[in-house]
Amino acid sequence: MDLSETTEHHGDGSRTPRPGNLTPSPPRSRAGSGNGKRTLDEKGRLWKEDEGEVARLMRTVDFAARKHTCQRRKDLDQTPYINHPIAVSNFLSSTGITDVRVLQAAILHDTVEDTPTTIEEIAEHFGPDVARIVQECTDNPNLSGQGAKAEQVRSAPHKSKEAQQVKLADKLHNLESIRRAPPVGWGVRRVQAYFIWAKQVTDICGPSHPALAKRLQRLYETAYTEIDGKYIPCHPEVCGPLLEEEKSRIDKRLHHLKKGEKPCPMPIFF
Ligand SMILES: Nc1nc2c(ncn2[C@@H]2O[C@H](COP(=O)(O)OP(=O)(O)O)[C@@H](OP(=O)(O)OP(=O)(O)O)[C@H]2O)c(=O)[nH]1
C-alpha cells in the first residue's frame, strides 16, 4: 500500500472517527487475516489509515455508484451509467495498471463533470493525487460541444501520464459502446465524427499505455456499426474492409433486435 497516500486521508475527519474520538477501550476487532491488525471504528468500518487497497477501491466504486445512481447511458438499452466508469477502470487493471490511484480516478472520472460532485469532495475522500487525476479528466465547465472537444485535443499532450491512461480507457469504452450500439439518434456522420475526434485524442495519449493504444488502433482499423440497415465503417479514413467476424457480430445483434429481444448478454470486452 502507498503509505504517503494513506496519510492524506487524515484531513478528512468527517466520517471516520479519528483515534482520539474513540472510547479508550482497545481496538474492537481485526479485519481479514494475514493483513496485520486493522482497527475498526464504532460502525465497524476500517479507519482510513488502516484501509487496504481493496477496501479503498470498493469505497471508490460505492461512492461513484451513489453519485451516478440516477444516470443512464445514451444507448437503446439505457445501460446504467456506472457500468461505464467500472469498465474504464477494468480496462486499466486488466492491462497491467496496478497504481490504485489511477484505478480510483478511472472509477471517479465522470463524477465532477456529470454530477454535482466537487473536486474538493474527491480530495477529501480519496486524497489529492486521485483528485488531481480526476480534475485532469474533467472538461472545462465553461466549454461545451465542439469547444470542449477541441480543448480535449489541445490539452491532451499536457496531461499527466496517469490522466492520459484514464483518457485512453475512457475513449476505448465509449468507442466500443458506439460500435456495439450507437447512442439513440446518432447517424453515420455523428458516429464517424466521434471516431475521428477520439483518434486525435488517443493518438496523443497512446504512449502512456501501449497495450491500450494497440487495442484502439485495431478498433479504428476494423470497427463497423449498423445504422439504418447499412454497415458503416466507424472511422472512415483508417478502417479497412468489413471483416466476416465483424459482420456476423452485427448480424447477431440485429437478429436479437428483430425478435424484440434485448441484445443482452452484454459482450465482455476482456
Ligand atoms: N459512446 C457513448 N457515449 C455515451 C453514452 N452515454 C453517455 N455518453 C457520453 O456522451 C459523450 C459522447 O457524446 P457527445 O455528443 O460527443 O458529447 P456531449 O453529449 O458531451 O457533447 C461521451 O463523453 P465524452 O466527452 O466523449 O467523453 P468523456 O471524456 O466525457 O468521458 C460519453 O461519456 C453511450 O451510450 N455511448
Q: In ligand 1, which atom is closest to the CA atom of 182?
A: 36
For residue 75, the ligand 1 atom closest to its alpha carbon is 35
Q: Is 50 annotated as catalytic?
A: no
pLDDT tens for 172-214 read 999 999 999 899 999 999 999 999 999 999 999 999 999 999 9
Cis peptide upstream of residue 27 (ω within 30 degrees of 0)? no
Q: How large is the ipTM?
A: 0.94
Residue range 2-38, pLDDT digits in tens: 323 333 333 333 333 333 333 333 344 444 434 556 7
Active site residue 62: no
* Mean pLDDT across the chain: 86
What is the per-residue pLDDT for 10? 33
Beta carbon of 74 within 6 Å of any ligand 1 atom: yes
pLDDT tens sequence across 253-267: 888 888 877 765 566
Q: Is 53 in the pocket of ligand 1 (CB under 6 A)?
A: no
The model's pTM: 0.85
